[in-house]
Amino acid sequence: MTDTLHAKERDIVVPGEIVAEGLGFLPSKGLYREGEKIRAGRMGMIAVEGKVVKLIPLSGAYLPKLNDKVICKVIDVLMTGWRVETRSPYSAVLGLKDATTEFVPRSADLTQYYALGEYILCKIIQVTSQKLIDITMKGPGLRKLKNGRLVEVNPHKVPRIIGKDGSMVLMMKNATGCTITVGQNGWIWVEGPAPEAEMQAVAAIKKVEEDAHLPGLTEKMKEFLEKLTGKPVEIPQGLPPMQEEPAYEREERRERRPYGGGGDTRHGPGRRGPPRNTPGDN
């Protein structure tokens, strides 16, 4: 039987749909092999690289991962720290030692540091196999988020919102004059000089989310922002200051890395080689 590709690059596929047939193809995460057939294991968009067929998810929940920078909401103040919502089924704990570079006295009122309902940009430093999550506030850029508003997008659209080399979010920042802080969990904090600027940023973010699967998005967004702000917009070239990781490389590194913090770490992160199916695919 000859190898046939039924779906092409950028096709949207639904669970169960036959994407390819033949043993020459290699299904990657989100696709599964059933005899000769390769089927979609969730909704997403197809990308083909030689013999490797990939599925890029466009929807779905956020699964907390080691080293992710996420925006969380404080939901409980504990004896020795805080519990936060991560926009996943699992809450995370911020311990005293990771909360701040200042010294926190034992009798301190913890709400002076982080109070219920406040949003923070933090980093995940541990994920156990039972999904107990620890976060830290110590690190470049990590901070309490004030004077802004929260935008919710699907976590799988975050790479598009950040863009290649951070270019998309930088373009939106420059055009609107807002600070746009993107959490890997799909929560985005927008802080602007005025409500109008903030609303422009929100509209732009929502537009990227809606059209994430379409080609030529950068050009479209340039036009969208120009129309919205009435000012000319430049597509940023070259690498911006390193705050966000390059989007596509990040996706690939995640596929190769052993799962979470409780997984097999013998091989170390960033091992080169073809993406392998991690346990949980079928």
Angstrom distance (rounded) from CA 111 to CA 170: 34
Compute the Cα dihedral for 265, 266, 270, 275 and give only its sign.
Answer: negative
Residue with smaller CB distance to another protein, 69 or 157: 157
Nearer to another protein, 74 or 172 (CB): 74
Residue listed under structure tokens 């002076």? 112
What is the nearest approach in angstroms of another protein to the Cβ of residue 193? 11
- Beta carbon nearer to another protein, 193 or 242: 193
For the bound state, the minimum distance from the C-beta of residue 239 to another protein, rounded and expressed in Å, comes to 29
Smaller CB separation from another protein, 40 or 171 = 40
Instruction: Return residues touching another protein (CB under 8 A).
Output: 12, 14-17, 30, 32, 34, 39, 41-44, 57-61, 63, 88-91, 116-119, 130-131, 146-149, 154, 156, 194-196, 199, 210-211, 213-214, 280, 282
Minimum CB separation of residue 121 from another protein in Å reads: 14
CB atoms within 10 A of CB 108: 12
Nearer of residues 26 and 151 to another protein, judged by Cβ: 151
Nearest to 9 by CA among 62, 43, 55, 40: 55
Quote the least distance from Cβ 82 to another protein, whole Å.
Answer: 15
Q: In Å, how far are 5, 6, 33, 234, 268 from 21, measured between CA atoms?
A: 6, 8, 9, 44, 34
Smallest distance, another protein to C-beta of residue 150, A = 8
